[in-house]
Amino acid sequence: MSRRLASTKSLKETLQEVIPAKQEQLKRLKTEHGQAVIGDVKIENIIGGMRGLKAMLWDASVLDPNEGIRFHGLSIADCQKVLPPAPGGKEIIAESMLWLLLTGQVPTTEQTRQLSRELAEKGELPSFVESLVDSLPTSLHPMTQLGIGVAALNRESAFQAAYEKGMKKSEYWTHTLEDCINLIAKLPALAARIYRNVYQPGNSLPAIDEDLDLVGNYSNMLGHGDNHNLTEYLRLYIALHGDHEGGNASAHTAHLVGSTLSDPYLSYSAALFALAGPLHGLANQEVLRWQLTMQQEMGNDVSHEDIKSYLWKTLRSGQVVPGYGHGVLRSPDPRFVALQEFCDARPELRNSPIIQLVKKTSEVAPGVLKEHGKTKNPYPNVDATSGCVLYHYGLTEFKYYTVIFGVSRALGALTQLVWARALGLPIERPKSYSLDALEKLIKQ
């Protein structure tokens, strides 16, 4: 039998070739370097949300405080150069990023098209999930609805079915991969159905087009398929938000729940509820609300001095400036830079009052925040602009923005569930201490 060409290998076939090398690397690290010390645990780590602790394996991406995110060693700029776009488009697509995160390899255009078709073929929701989502009150937050829908899909879990029948540990990853691909495929239809029910009741959803990529179908089902610029922005947004190391709350939640051998549907539904928190996924809508309030108070023709005054007004009122700072980054977020470049390349965004305000704010805010002196990173993060572009292009429903983030973050969280099973990672179980126990440790 002749060997398959690299350009025609499927995602699963590629993984079957990649996994043994990673398994051997993990085995060598455990055997030869299991006792190596890579950091100290301080009291401030324990009582400060474990921030900065080097205590988790996440193979797809590494976040450097100064350089930003790299996906298997590739920067965002690198990814924009080498990852195939959609037909007729220029931006990274979800399929390209999914392939890279899973395999560590850059896919060919043919491989991304093959994956797009597979996702489209698996994209329809089961009728019982459609009925469940349609029965939910429209006043229920869209993120709550998304989590419920994803959890309900676990009735379809290949991993759960195989586990109940009995399977070898070496087969865990294959059934996990099947679940993850099925879930990623169905997220656009689920998210679009929630959007229609809450914001456009009575409007019918178009059928999934097997010739479109994942985000092309998502944009179409949202009712914005004829807006090429919004669709391209959604492609970039979803690819860039797909993974941001494993320690963020949503990714870590998926990893934690998945470590119990819960199936990917249950694991990712838990991650979505972490993403729904104001300190995590709601940030982009908070930025937009704050910028719109500034615009309403000061008008469209706002000077840098006007913005500086508004920033000090926000800080002196005891509020934070949304969209600035990051739990890890200590320099401008490369994702913000990429989205700003997207804006700069399009006349309608360059001339948009809200986008102009975002750009001017990013030029003024770091200086004010440095002078204020209470933030370790005074630079803009991705949320400083992400929601504002959605708003400009007509997707104005604030509460829905985190749902789009939820569709995106599945790329990283679910691919790493596959790797956790392939590498046989154990259940996560850190040691906890009481305040009195910490006092005792200090005295010792």
**Residues classed as catalytic:** 280, 326, 383
C-alpha angle 87/14/179, rounded to 5°? Answer: 80
Backbone angles phi, psi at 69, to 5 degrees: -80, 140
**What tokens does 232 get?**
């391209």
DSSP state of 67: T
> What SS3 state is found at 368?
helix
DSSP state of 208: P
* Cβ–Cβ under 8 Å, residues 112 and 175: no
> What SS3 state is found at 85?
strand
**What tokens does 130 get?**
């459609």
3-state secondary structure 352-411: CHHHHHHHHHHHHHHHHHHHHCCCCCCCECCHHHHHHHHHHCCCCCHHHHHHHHHHHHHH
Backbone angles phi, psi at 63, to 5 degrees: -105, 110
Spell out the residues 6+ positions from residue 105 whose beta carbon is closer than 8 angstroms to its own. Answer: 14, 18, 99
Helix (H) or strand (E) holding 61: strand 61-64
Provide the Cα torsion 26, 76, 191, 152; round to 10°.
Answer: 10
* Cβ–Cβ under 8 Å, residues 414 and 187: no
